[in-house]
Structure 1
Amino acid sequence: MTESPGQWQSPEQPRCPYLVVRDPELVREVLHRPADFSPANALIAVTPLAGPALRVLQRVRFALPPVLASNDTDTHAGIRKIVAGFFTPATVKAMEPRIRELAQEAAGNAADQLARSGHVDLVQTVAAFPPAIVMLELLGLPVRDLADLKRWSLDSMELFWGWPDADQQLELAHSAADFYIWLRKLVAESMTKPGRNLFKSLAKHGLSTPEICSLGYFLLIAGQETTTQLISTTLFRLLDGSSPVGWKDAASEERSRSTVRHVLATESSVPTWRRMAPQDTQLGDRLIPAGAEILLELSGNHVTVPAETRDSSPRAQEAKHKPQTTFGLVFGSGIHRCLGAKLAELEAAIIVQETAAALSRIQLRDVNPDWIRHLSFQAPRAVTVMDQPL
C-alpha cells in the first residue's frame, strides 16, 4: 500500500491517481468492509468522458444508476439474490454438457480453418463466442447479434477502463450508445416473453428500465468477455511455454483445470478492481483519507506500477515473491464477489481441454501479440497458431 495516493500508470497512457493495495490480507479486508470502502467508483470511467462523448450518450438516454457492482445501498442484497438465482451451483453444473458441446464445435471449426489456411486465431474461433452463448442462455435471453455483442463489450471496456484519446473516446461512445439502444430493446422484449429470464425477474423485483439496463450493460460484458479473456491468456501461456502444464497435457480435464487456476492466480483477466473511501478510515497501520481512490490488486498484471507507488511493506514483498497456489481474491470477496466465478472457471477449463485435444500439434505463429491492457482487464487480443512441423 502506498503512503499516500500515488499514480497507477499504463505503459502507453497518462497516469491516473490511485492508492494501490497489494497485500492480499489488506485487499480482502477492503472487500469485506463495504461501508468503509465503497464500490461506488467501480464502474466510473477511468478517463473522464469529454463533452462530445457525453453528448452521444445523452442522446440515447444512456444511464448507469448503481444497481449491483457499484451499489453501496441496502437495495444491493435483494437485487443480488435475484441475479444469484441464475447462477446457482446446480444451474452451472447443468450447463456443463452444453458448454462441452459448444467447446467441441468451436475446436472443430478451428481445426478446419487451420487445415484450410495453415493458421488460425484461437481467440476468435474458440474463446470468443461460447461464453457469450452460455451467458445468454443461462439468463433466459435470446442468442443473437453475437458479433455485435463482442465488439460492443470490447469497446465499452476501453471506454470505461482504458485511456482513449478524445477521438477514440467519441468512437467508443457511439459504440456504447448502440449497445445501450440494443439492450433497452432487449429489456422491453423480455418483459413479454414466456418463461423465466433475468430482466423479467428484475422488473418483478421492482427495478425500473434504466436500472435493469444498467445491470444488464455490465453483466452482459463481464459475464462473457472476461471469460473469453481468461481462456485467451490460458491458451497463450500454454503455447508460449510459460505454463507449468504442457500443451498436450492440457487435453486432460485435470490439467486444463489446474492451468486455468494457475492463470487465475498469476495473470487473471481482471487483475485489479476499484474502491473508494467515503470517509477517513484506517487500513492496517495507515489512515485512508476521505475521497481516496483505491486500486486493489487481485492477481498479477501487465501494467507497470511506478516505484514510488509500490507497496514496500515486508508483508507485501513476502506475498509478491511467495508462489501463488490459490486464487481466492481474483473473483472478489464478500458481498460483491463475482456471481459467475464457478461458471467462468468451468467454461475456461472445458474450452482449453477441448481445444488442446482437437489441435494437438500446433505452435504459436505470433509470439508477441498485441494485448488488451486496461486498468482492470488484460488478455492477448489474438492467439494465432500454425501447424507444428513434423
Structure 2
Amino acid sequence: MSAASASARTCPYMVLRDPAAVREVLHRPDDFSPANALIAVTPLSGPSLRVLQRARFALPPVLASNHTDSHAGIRKVVAGFFTPATVGAFESRIRGIARDAATTAAGLLKADGRVDLVHAVAAHPPAIVMLELLGLPVRDLPKLKAWSLDSLELFWGWPDSERQLELAHSAAEFYGWLRDLVLEAVASPGRNLFGSLAEHGLSTPEICSLGYFLLIAGQETTTQLISTALFRLAEGSVGFAWDDAASGSTARDLIRHVLATESSVPTWRRIAARDTTFDGGHIPAGAEILLELTGNHSVSEQGPTSYGLAFGSGIHRCLGAKLAELEAAVVVQETAAALQGVRLADPSPEWLRLLSFQAPRTVSVGF
C-alpha cells in the first residue's frame, strides 16, 4: 500500500493523484494554501508541547508554509544559494565527497563481506554538501542525521504518546543547537544563508523556523532518494544493471526513474484557504488536501514532466531540486564504480514510511 493510501485511511484528506490536478492545486496558492504543510500529522500532546515550549521552539511561517506577501522576498534570498551556476560549480566537490564515501564503503565490503550503503554512502555526503553550500560549519553530522529522522517522524508520522514525547525532546535539542548556529552565523563575517536572512530583516525565531526544516529537507530527502535508488538498483527491479550505473548517464536516468515512481517525498499537503471550485466540484474552506507528487506517471514517459512533481511546482517548488538530482546521480555513479559486482544481501529491509517521506532504512550489499 502506498504512503498516500495508507494515510488517507486515518487522516481527513482529500487525496489527489492525477498529475494535472496536483499541478493545478500547486499553481493556485490563493485558493490552496501551504499553511498546513508543516503541521504535525499527529496532534502534539500537552507534555510534548511543554517540552517544545521550554526550548522556545517556534515555527512561524517563513518559506514552505508561508502564504503571505513576504514569501517571494525570502525565497529570493534562499534561491541565491542554489543558483544553477552555484550548483554546477559545486559538482567537482560533490564528486570528491561521493568518491571518498564510496571508497570507504568498498573497504568495509572487502573487510566484512557486507556493507550498508545507507550509512556508508547515502547519509553524510548530502549533509556535508548542504552545509558547505549554505556557508555553514560542517559539524555534528551524526546528531543532525538522528535529529532529522526524529523530526520527520514527529511531524509526518503517527507516534504514540510515549514515542511522541521522545521525539519532542529530540526536536527541542535540535532547535537549541540550531539557535546557537543561527546566532553564530549571523555574527560571522563571511557570506552564509542565516546572515543573509538577517540582513533581509528576518528575526532569530524566523531564521530558526526556516533553518529547522531546510537543514532537514536539504539533506535527509536526498539521502532517502539515494537510498531508494541504490536499493532498486541492487534489487534489479527497475531495468538498470548495477555495473552500468557507473556511467553518469545511466545513473542520472535511474534517479529520474525513481523520482517519477517512488520519490523520497511522495506526497505533500495543502489546505483550501477559502470556498472554491475544483474540477467542477465545490471545495469548502478548510478542506485538507493530500497531493500525490510521484508514482502516477507512466514509467515509459520521458522528459521533465515525468518526474518534475517530485519537487513540487509553482511558487513553492523545491529550490534544491537540481542539487538533489545531481547529488543523487553522482553518489550512485561513484558507488556503482567502486563496488562492482555486488548483490543485495537483504531483500526485505525495514522502510521509513511516513505521510510524506519514504525510503529503505538500510541497503545491505555483499558479493
Q: Which bracket does the TM-score occupy, shorter chain normalised?
A: over 0.9
Counterparts in 2 of 1:224-373, with a 5 A limit? 224-300=219-295, 323-325=300-302, 326-373=306-353
Task: Kindly provide the amino acid, as one letter, of the partner of residue 367 in structure 1.
Answer: P
1:242-273 per-residue CA deviation (whole Å, 9 max, x = no partner) reads 11211111000000000000000000000000
Could you tell me whether the CA contact under 8 Å between 1:9 and 1:16 is conserved in 2? Answer: no
* CA distance in structure 2 between the partners assigned to 1:321 and 1:340 by the alignment: 25
Could you tell me whether the CA contact under 8 Å between 1:266 and 1:324 is conserved in 2? Answer: no
* CA distance in structure 2 between the partners assigned to 1:53 and 1:342 by the alignment: 36
Task: Kindly provide the amino acid, as one letter, of the partner of residue 142 in structure 1.
Answer: P
* CA distance in structure 2 between the partners assigned to 1:351 and 1:210 by the alignment: 34
Gapped runs of 5+ residues in structure 1? Answer: 1-6, 301-318
Match of 1:303 in 2: none
Tell me the C-alpha RMSD between the 2 structures: 1.3
Task: Kindly provide the amino acid, as one letter, of the partner of residue 104 in structure 2.
Answer: N
Could you tell me whether the CA contact under 8 Å between 2:293 and 2:312 is conserved in 1? Answer: yes
Give 1:151 deviation, angstroms. Answer: 0.3
Could you tell me whether the CA contact under 8 Å between 1:68 and 1:79 is conserved in 2? Answer: yes
Task: Kindly provide the amino acid, as one letter, of the partner of residue 342 in structure 2.
Answer: I
Counterparts in 2 of 1:198-217, with a 5 A limit? 198-217=193-212
Give 1:322 deviation, angstroms. Answer: 6.9
Change (3 A) 1:349 1:118: same
Could you tell me whether the CA contact under 8 Å between 2:274 and 2:286 is conserved in 1? Answer: yes
* CA distance in structure 2 between the partners assigned to 1:10 and 1:26 by the alignment: 19
* CA distance in structure 2 between the partners assigned to 1:362 and 1:47 by the alignment: 40
The structure richer in helix per residue is 2
TM (norm. structure 1) is 0.91
Task: Kindly provide the amino acid, as one letter, of the partner of residue 336 in structure 1.
Answer: H
Match of 2:96 in 1: 101
Query: Among 177, 182, 194, which residue is 2:172 paired with?
Result: 177
* CA distance in structure 2 between the partners assigned to 1:105 and 1:89 by the alignment: 24
Give 1:9 deviation, angstroms. Answer: 2.7
* CA distance in structure 2 between the partners assigned to 1:320 and 1:67 by the alignment: 32
* CA distance in structure 2 between the partners assigned to 1:191 and 1:328 by the alignment: 34
Counterparts in 2 of 1:9-28, with a 5 A limit? 9-10=6-7, 15-28=10-23
Give 1:321 deviation, angstroms. Answer: 5.9
Could you tell me whether the CA contact under 8 Å between 2:260 and 2:299 is conserved in 1? Answer: no
Match of 2:28 in 1: 33
Match of 1:43 in 2: 38
Match of 2:145 in 1: 150
Match of 1:378 in 2: 358
**Aligned residues: percent identity?**
71
* CA distance in structure 2 between the partners assigned to 1:381 and 1:124 by the alignment: 9
Give 1:324 deviation, angstroms. Answer: 4.2
Could you tell me whether the CA contact under 8 Å between 1:87 and 1:339 is conserved in 2? Answer: yes
Give 1:195 deviation, angstroms. Answer: 1.1
Give 1:285 deviation, angstroms. Answer: 1.6
* CA distance in structure 2 between the partners assigned to 1:122 and 1:320 by the alignment: 28
2:224 aligned counterpart, secondary structure: helix
* CA distance in structure 2 between the partners assigned to 1:291 and 1:350 by the alignment: 42
1:220 aligned counterpart, secondary structure: helix
Task: Kindly provide the amino acid, as one letter, of the partner of residue 356 in structure 2.
Answer: S
Gapped runs of 5+ residues in structure 2? Answer: none
Match of 1:53 in 2: 48
Change (3 A) 1:283 1:322: farther
1:317-347 per-residue CA deviation (whole Å, 9 max, x = no partner) reads xx66674432121101110000000000000
* CA distance in structure 2 between the partners assigned to 1:10 and 1:290 by the alignment: 21
Could you tell me whether the CA contact under 8 Å between 1:8 and 1:16 is conserved in 2? Answer: no
* CA distance in structure 2 between the partners assigned to 1:234 and 1:365 by the alignment: 16
Give 1:8 deviation, angstroms. Answer: 4.9
1:284-310 per-residue CA deviation (whole Å, 9 max, x = no partner) reads 12211111000000002xxxxxxxxxx
Could you tell me whether the CA contact under 8 Å between 2:15 and 2:291 is conserved in 1? Answer: yes
Query: Aligned pair count?
Result: 361
Match of 1:313 in 2: none
Give 1:52 deviation, angstroms. Answer: 0.9
Match of 2:162 in 1: 167
* CA distance in structure 1 between the partners assigned to 2:184 and 2:253 by the alignment: 41
1:17 aligned counterpart, secondary structure: coil
Query: Among 59, 62, 70, which residue is 1:64 paired with?
Result: 59
* CA distance in structure 2 between the partners assigned to 1:349 and 1:377 by the alignment: 19
Deviates more, 1:197-206 or 1:240-249: 240-249
TM (norm. structure 2) is 0.96
Match of 1:74 in 2: 69
* CA distance in structure 2 between the partners assigned to 1:332 and 1:97 by the alignment: 27
* CA distance in structure 2 between the partners assigned to 1:298 and 1:9 by the alignment: 15
2:166 aligned counterpart, secondary structure: helix
